Structure 1
Amino acid sequence: MKRFNRPEPDTAGAPLIVQVVRQYAPGRGGLEDVVANLSRLLLRRGFRVRVVTLDSLFRSRDQKLAEHEVIDGVEVVRIPWKGSTRYPLAPAVFRHIGDADLVHVHGIDFFFDALALTRPLHGKPLVATTHGGFFHTPKFAAIKHIWFRTVTRLSALAYRSLLCCSRSDLALFSRIAPRRAVLVENGVDTEKFAGLSSAMAQRRIVTIGRFSVNKRLDRLFDAMQALNGVSPEWKLDVVGSPSDLSEEDLRREIAGRGLAGQVALHIGVDNAQVRRLIAEASLFASASEYEGFGLVAVEAMSAGLVPVLHPNDAYRVLGAQHPGVCLADFSRPEECAARIEQTFQALRANPAATRADMMSGAAVHAWESVADRYIDVYRAALGDRLPPPLRSLPA
């Protein structure tokens, strides 16, 4: 195997954590952000980190990415794959874990099952983060439940810990691995958009995420159509990248509702452009039917945006933790529009205090403390092979 940028002498003896994830930078999304932030903080605590991922993005499968790269100090190895994006087959993963002290699998997919099945051969300690499993949509629900109760249950036996990134994941995975399932909610980069929302209340909403069916952007557009009856000043910025839905699909949905003047699409924009959009907005919205945790909603809170969220399991938990978060049923557009207008009016009555509440609420999800939870799990898995000073190295 080709190697590059060998560790400097001061880290040469540090434990190597290999993070295995199906999609990574330059891909953008919640899963990619979690792995990138965790990797960055592990480096700061003295670990060596390698990310093993697929050699193309699902949205542009024919465009191959570099086989090896260093991104923000993290070694990234990309491997070929075949099959479905729902269960990509990539057996080359085994070539890149031989020198690992611990393998951390992100997601419940081929990597999760294959590394579990072959653990008697490779012998590496394994941990996994659930990231919602594979229940993001109701499609093939019966098959998914059978697979979960059989294949996933069997694979889970090979893992020292299953790190559940939400309370709903903990309830789900406790059914098949009660002694291994532990709650480690996703960390959030609370600095990326910190305090950027408009200081003055604006009838402007931003939503951020992949254009996936489970995000129910159609229902968000329905709510915007209903909001037109309340005030024609309402605007929506949709930030993301194509997935199950294409840009053309969304433009048809927007045009069909006569929302071309109220809804703007921003495809594949960088963080600088996202910051500019947030600076003009006061609310964040998500009509998603399923979320593993709700990472983007917390990022929005860190900016001072007030989230208006469909009450899926993850968002109900977030709403219970943070009373300022608005839960609104996006399957009922008229009622949802009324809730959005009420939230705006409450914000306008006291914008400074509301923004401060949102930002302080987001702070409890910051990555620094979450990274310590991960290291505790690594310590339990590695035992004496993880030296105590690693956790407390200065940033």
Structure 2
Amino acid sequence: MPNSAPLSILHVVRQFLPNRGGLEDVVANLAREQIRLGHRVRVLTLDRLFSRPETRLLARERLEGIDIARIPFFGSHRYPVAPSVFRHLGDADLVHVHAIDFFFDAFALAKPVHRRPMVATTHGGFFHTTAHSRLKKLWFQGPTRMSVRAYEAIVACSESDARLFTPITPGGVTVIQNGVDLDKFADAASPEPRRALLTLGRFAHNKRLDRLLAAMQVLNAGGAGWRLRIVGVPSDVTEDALTAEIDRLGLTGAVTVHTGLDAPAVRDLIGQSSLFVSASQYEGFGIALIEALSAGLVPVAHPNDAFAWLARRHPAITLTDFADAQGAAAAIRGASDRLASGAIMRGSEDLSEYRWSHVAAQYVAVYEAALAGTGPVVAATAA
């Protein structure tokens, strides 16, 4: 039974099921847990996937137990404009906006009209890459600074997000680390050590898949037989472009690309792997890395802010600068050797704080404070 009166919650996110990615998984898992707690939950999203813009999805659909409404949009996928958003407020007690985009600004601008309490989760803001950095900084200090004032609570999903948003958010921000489905890939890694790597996530420029390929060239320079499986969904890097680059580098056979897989299929690939690798330059939190730990994979990752924070808490994580292909290859070999020798004990990490039951309870506390007008539940901290 829920500990509080049931709420009608509207989650607003630019991409959602059937698309798969970190943001989509966060919203889906949070929605499912809130439904389990007895709340009425809907998700409002766009009617086309950025990866398949030619296909229009159903206006209304129920997937994985979640009621979804989809609306048309125009403009760039970086800032999709969807004017019909306000027709779908319905009986929502509270609106929860995910990420900093058109929806975030539009709901803020229209607050005097719709008058709904609002919570927003940052999900890394829009600083995942350095592209258009000057314009992004100007937008952040202008429209974003103004928009945050309309929200009852701004939730940062990492300490790095907290440091970014605290200076522009009156009253500070709440830090709630992202939840992770720890059961999906639990203990799925290969029981015996293999020279097999896996990376999981969106095919995006900030993920620096090119640097993973460079490290693979070094690893296999002597015919050592290393394998890399790249698992995810295309984004601003297409599957064709990625495959062409693999072929150009002479890595055909050593590196394979896997798209559109469901969780059981991904679990099967994890079962053929021993190490998780990520050269990502920016992460809002690092869900895939936590999933890797839950699976028993040994992570070797680039020291972006999110991964560095996780590495301080989880000693099984090896950090290495993937800009240096030789150094990254050496770090991967070292992690593999430690795993083979028993120096790394897989499955020894305590990941309980990332369970969705814990995270959902924190969000409900934020919602109740927003509805009561009592301000942020937890002040931001800096790491």
TM-score, length-scaled by structure 2 = 0.94
Number of aligned residue pairs: 370
Alpha-carbon shift at residue 80 of structure 1 (Å): 0.5
Identity of aligned residues (%): 50
Distance 2:76 2:272 in 1: 39
Asked if residue 256 in structure 1 is aligned to residue 248 in structure 2, the reply is yes
**Aligned residue number for residue 376 of structure 1:** 365
Secondary structure of 2:55's counterpart equals coil
Alignment partner for residue 355 of structure 2, among 329, 343, 366? 366
Alpha-carbon shift at residue 229 of structure 1 (Å): 3.1
Deviations along 1:35-73, one digit per CA (max 9) or x if unpaired, are 000000000111000000000100111201011111222
Distance 2:163 2:268 in 1: 38
Alpha-carbon shift at residue 178 of structure 1 (Å): 4.6
Tell me, yes or no, if the aligned pair for 2:232 and 2:258 is still in contact at 8 Å: yes
Matches within 5 A, 1:105-254: 105-229=97-221, 232-254=224-246
Secondary structure of 1:307's counterpart equals strand
**Aligned residue number for residue 11 of structure 2:** 19
Deviations along 1:250-309, one digit per CA (max 9) or x if unpaired, are 112111211102101112122121111000111001101110000111011110101111
Give the RMSD, CA atoms, in angstroms: 1.5
Secondary structure of 1:356's counterpart equals coil
**Aligned residue number for residue 306 of structure 1:** 298
Asked if residue 334 in structure 1 is aligned to residue 347 in structure 2, the reply is no
Alignment partner for residue 269 of structure 1, among 261, 272, 275? 261
Asked if residue 96 in structure 1 is aligned to residue 88 in structure 2, the reply is yes
Distance 1:161 1:334 in 2: 45
**Aligned residue number for residue 355 of structure 1:** 346
Q: What residue identity is the alignment partner of 1:277?
A: L
Alpha-carbon shift at residue 230 of structure 1 (Å): 5.8
Deviations along 1:219-256, one digit per CA (max 9) or x if unpaired, are 00000111113652210001112111111211121112
Structure 1 stretches of 5 or more lacking a match?
A: 1-9, 385-395
Alpha-carbon shift at residue 335 of structure 1 (Å): 0.7
Distance 1:182 1:217 in 2: 32
Q: What residue identity is the alignment partner of 2:354?
A: H
Deviations along 1:69-105, one digit per CA (max 9) or x if unpaired, are 1122221000011101000001111011131100000
Secondary structure of 1:62's counterpart equals strand
For structure 1, which segment, 267-276 or 74-83, has the greater mean C-alpha deviation from structure 2 after superposition?
267-276
Secondary structure of 2:258's counterpart equals strand
Matches within 5 A, 1:317-328: 317-328=309-320
Distance 1:247 1:106 in 2: 27
**Aligned residue number for residue 3 of structure 1:** none
Alpha-carbon shift at residue 180 of structure 1 (Å): 3.8
Distance 1:75 1:126 in 2: 20
Deviations along 1:111-169, one digit per CA (max 9) or x if unpaired, are 00000000000000000000000000000000100100010000000001111001100
Structure 2 stretches of 5 or more lacking a match?
A: 374-383
Tell me, yes or no, if the aligned pair for 1:160 and 1:180 is still in contact at 8 Å: no
Secondary structure of 1:229's counterpart equals coil
TM-score, length-scaled by structure 1 = 0.91
